[in-house]
């Protein structure tokens, strides 16, 4: 989970609580009180340290210049990116403690908006950019450092190490719009990178940064591309080479008053989220608090869109859903108050049963009514939820199918077979072509398989067992293995479009086929399940009976294959594997296989 390092005294000053702690002096009472507040809010105080101790732990050297400020290391949920800076955390805690109402973020449009123009060439490498301006900002050392640290935390989390999104911030007073977002060959890009003195082209920059411990890990994102993304201002001064580095000319300093923010991305939705977070968290330092100046973005087709979009989203849920899910009895008005403590403004609709929740631009983690319910539970307090005994006496027990599976595992193992566990994904070629079977389209196919070996969910266990024998053909003969696992079939009548089926598959591999040995295993399985053998043409009065019926299948030797029927329903197959199939799997021995569904035995 991401960790926020917050200066204790700064955090206490922001939330107007100190629990008796004096500046820069340890306080076990304050630590305990804040730890309890974190627990109530759904976060965790991981450690209490100092800046000097942190640097000594990182470098192994005592840094006399490091401060003695007490640092709280706080574990944050991965989905709460709005809490990854002290500004966002303190704001959320003040609302939770009911000292403030959730802030209202506002767009303030100037007479002439800045404009970013996207060139069509960027579509081949990093197609999206969104922008905003923070006006009349006043930074001090801590807020400036927080501004930089928050960007880095976003880069490591929601931005997926800059592969999806990267952030560039610039001193607007040093550059002039309109700005252009372009993609050019590396040799055509020349600028002075951040904190450097010498101008470099794209190739020289990559060579220089290959020794930079912080930035070299990002170079592969664009290094092998024929063009690099670059942002210019009106005077062809480079603002940034995303997602690697900014230009030195427009760097942010403590004296910066107007901040231009550009967010480039391969995922436009993530870009929206990141831009909103940056603007919302640090707009409190604007002279007019929580105001953001929008920027026009013109795409390659000439369409102009104004960013950011900070309008709240709306979601409806019911009081019954929230109370029943949490397990509490609570009035509708109280639910509204609980949600307001979590910065979710809400109101009760006239039916007194439905709650309309307004989700601020900082809460991208709220996607469903269950997320609203979770926030209500946090505000209510998990320790305050009653834990009554269930109204009925129940006993936990194993699912019947799993119990049958365990019993069959033991029986087949005692018959001399070794159990294996194979992968549930396989390739289309292994499932159909190598088994001499036509592709019936019944397999669940992965939309974006990483390799050809994992294209579909298996429709039989036979493939996995044959691959296992092929990898162990040097083992002593006979090889007797089995597996009891699920296969997957398409089914448009189910909610997910597919269903699982529990099967048993066993193979005997040796110099001879061993058909009678596998047939004996089938008879044993039927016997332990109290299933009677039914002779052909002879009536059977048993409740459960089975018989074999000759059939043909490309995977099996002609005339040496039979379907297995249980009470006149086909449940599987028994037979000698076709020589072409064992050759396809590079197995130099004869194989006989049994594969049946075990669900009909229940």
pLDDT value of residue 59: 65
Q: Note whether 254 and 376 are same-domain residues.
A: no
pLDDT digits (tens, 9 = 90+) for 461-485: 999 999 999 999 899 999 999 999 9
- Residue 270 phi/psi, 5-degree rounding, is -65, -35
CATH of the domain at 525: 3.30.930.10
pLDDT tens, residue by residue, 291-321: 999 999 999 888 999 999 999 999 999 999 9
Q: Is residue 389 part of a domain?
A: no
The domain that contains 336 carries what CATH number?
Answer: 3.30.56.10
Average pLDDT over residues 158-180: 93
**Confidence (pLDDT) at 480:** 96
Residue 393 lies in a domain: no
Checking 296-300 for CB contacts under 8 A at 24+ apart, the result is: 296/113, 296/114, 296/115, 296/116, 297/115, 297/116, 297/118, 297/129, 297/130, 297/131, 298/115, 298/116, 298/117, 298/118, 299/118, 300/118, 300/119, 300/120, 300/123
Same domain (yes/no): 300, 364: no
Provide the 3-class DSSP secondary structure of residue 180.
Answer: strand
Q: Do residue 137 and residue 158 come from a single domain?
A: yes
Q: Establish if 391 belongs to a structural domain.
A: no
Domain shared by 21 and 144, yes or no: no
Q: Give the total number of structural domains in the chain.
A: 4
How confident is residue 93, by pLDDT bands cut at 50, 70 and 90? very high
Q: Is the pLDDT of residue 67 over 80?
A: no
Q: How confident is the model at residue 60 (pLDDT cuts 50, 70, 90)?
A: low
Tell which of 284, 307, 330 closes a domain: 307
Q: Using 50, 70 and 90 to split pLDDT, how confident is the model at 394?
A: confident
User: pLDDT value at position 62?
Assistant: 65
Q: Are residues 85 and 161 in the same domain?
A: no
Predicted TM-score (pTM) above 0.75: no
Please give the share of the chain, as a percent, with pLDDT higher than 70. Answer: 98
What pLDDT, on a 0 to 100 scale, did the predictor assign at position 533?
A: 92
Residues 278 and 366 reside in one and the same domain: no
| Co-location of 252 and 136 in the same domain | yes
In a domain, 459, yes or no: yes
With contact defined as beta carbons under 8 Å apart, do 435 and 462 qualify? Answer: yes
Query: Which of 70, 96, 122 is the C-terminal boundary of a domain?
Result: 96
Domain match, 329 and 209 both: no
Residue 389 predicted with pLDDT over 90: no
Residues 245 and 296 both lie in one domain? yes
Partners of residue 67 on adjacent β-strands: none
Task: Write the pLDDT tens digit of every residue in 233-274.
Answer: 999 999 999 999 999 999 999 999 999 999 999 999 999 999
Helix (H) / strand (E) containing 207: helix 202-209
Length of the chain: 602
pLDDT of residue 213: 85
Q: In the prediction, which pLDDT does 385 show?
A: 86
How does residue 90 score in pLDDT terms, banded at 50, 70 and 90? very high
What are the pLDDT digits (tens) for 547-580?
A: 999 998 899 999 999 999 999 899 999 999 999 9
**Does 395 reside within a domain?**
no
Q: For residue 20, name the pLDDT band (cuts at 50, 70, 90).
A: confident
Q: In this structure, is residue 466 part of a structural domain? A: yes
> Is 70 exceeded by the pLDDT of residue 64?
no
Same domain, 350 and 265: no
Is pLDDT above 80 for 220?
yes
Q: Identify whether 432 is part of a domain.
A: yes
Beta strands in 213-258 (DSSP E): 228-232, 238-241, 245-246
Which CATH number covers residue 292? 3.50.40.10
Same structural domain for residues 265 and 351?
A: no
Beta-carbon count within 10 A of 365 CB: 16
Domain end call among 96, 124, 151: 96
Domain extent for 293: 106-307
Is 233 in the same domain as 263?
Answer: yes
- Does some domain include residue 160? yes
Q: Which of these, 154, 464, 106, lies nearest to 294 by C-alpha position?
A: 106
* pLDDT per residue as tens digits for the range 420-453: 999 999 999 999 999 999 998 889 999 888 888 8
């Amino acid at each position: 989970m991401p960790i926020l390092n917050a200066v204790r005294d700064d955090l206490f000053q922001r939330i107007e609580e100190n629990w008796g702690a004096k500046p820069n002096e340890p306080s076990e009472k304050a630590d305990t009180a804040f730890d309890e507040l974190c627990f109530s809010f759904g976060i965790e105080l991981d450690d209490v340290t100092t800046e000097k101790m942190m640097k000594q732990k990182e470098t192994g050297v005592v840094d006399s210049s490091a401060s003695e400020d007490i640092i709280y290391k706080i574990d944050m949920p991965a989905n709460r990116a709005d809490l990854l800076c002290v500004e966002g955390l303190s704001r959320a805690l003040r609302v939770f403690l009911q000292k403030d109402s959730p802030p209202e973020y506002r767009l303030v449009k100037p007479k002439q908006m800045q404009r970013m123009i996207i060139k069509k060439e960027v579509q081949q490498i990093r197609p999206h950019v969104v922008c905003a301006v923070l006006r009349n900002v006043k930074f001090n050392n801590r807020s400036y450092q927080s501004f930089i640290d928050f960007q880095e935390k976003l880069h490591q989390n929601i931005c997926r190490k800059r592969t999806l999104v990267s952030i560039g911030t610039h001193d607007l007073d040093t550059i002039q719009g309109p700005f252009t977002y372009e993609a050019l060959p590396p040799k055509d890009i020349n600028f002075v990178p951040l904190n450097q003195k010498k101008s470099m082209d794209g190739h020289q920059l990559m060579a220089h940064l290959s020794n930079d411990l912080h930035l070299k890990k990002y170079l592969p994102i664009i290094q092998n591309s024929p063009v690099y993304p670059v942002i210019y201002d009106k005077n062809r001064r480079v603002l940034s080479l995303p997602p690697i580095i900014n230009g030195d000319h427009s760097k942010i300093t403590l004296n910066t008053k107007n901040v231009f923010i550009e967010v480039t991305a391969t995922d436009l939705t993530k870009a929206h989220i990141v831009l909103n977070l940056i603007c919302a968290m640090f707009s409190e330092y604007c002279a007019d608090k929580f105001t953001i100046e929008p920027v026009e973005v013109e795409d390659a087709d000439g369409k102009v869109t104004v960013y950011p979009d900070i309008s709240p989203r709306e979601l409806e849920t019911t009081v019954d859903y929230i109370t029943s899910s949490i397990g509490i009895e609570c009035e509708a008005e109280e639910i509204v108050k609980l949600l307001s403590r979590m910065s979710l403004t809400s109101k009760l609709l006239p039916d007194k049963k439905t709650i309309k929740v307004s989700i601020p631009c900082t809460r991208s983690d709220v996607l469903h009514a269950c997320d609203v319910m979770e926030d209500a539970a946090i505000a209510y307090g998990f320790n305050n939820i009653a834990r009554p005994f269930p109204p009925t006496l129940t006993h936990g027990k194993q699912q019947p199918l799993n119990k049958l599976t365990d019993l069959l595992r033991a029986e087949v193992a005692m018959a001399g077979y070794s159990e294996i566990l194979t992968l549930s994904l396989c390739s289309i070629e292994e499932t159909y072509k190598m088994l001499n079977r036509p592709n019936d389209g019944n397999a669940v196919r992965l939309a974006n398989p990483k390799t050809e070996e994992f294209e579909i969910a298996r429709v039989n266990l036979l493939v996995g067992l044959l691959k296992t024998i092929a990898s162990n053909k040097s083992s002593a003969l006979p090889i007797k293995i089995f597996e009891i696992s699920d296969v997957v079939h398409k089914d448009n009548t189910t909610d997910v479009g597919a269903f699982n089926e529990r099967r048993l598959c066993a193979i005997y591999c040796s110099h001879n086929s061993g058909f009678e040995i596998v047939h004996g295993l089938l008879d044993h399985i039927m016997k332990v399940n109290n299933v009677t053998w039914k002779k052909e043409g002879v009536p059977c009065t048993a409740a459960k009976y089975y018989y074999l019926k000759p059939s043909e299948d490309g995977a099996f030797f002609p005339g040496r294959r039979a379907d297995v029927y249980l009470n006149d329903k086909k449940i599987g197959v028994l037979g000698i594997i076709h020589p072409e199939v064992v050759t396809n799997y590079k197995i130099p021995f004869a194989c006989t296989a049994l594969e049946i569904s075990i669900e009909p035995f229940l």
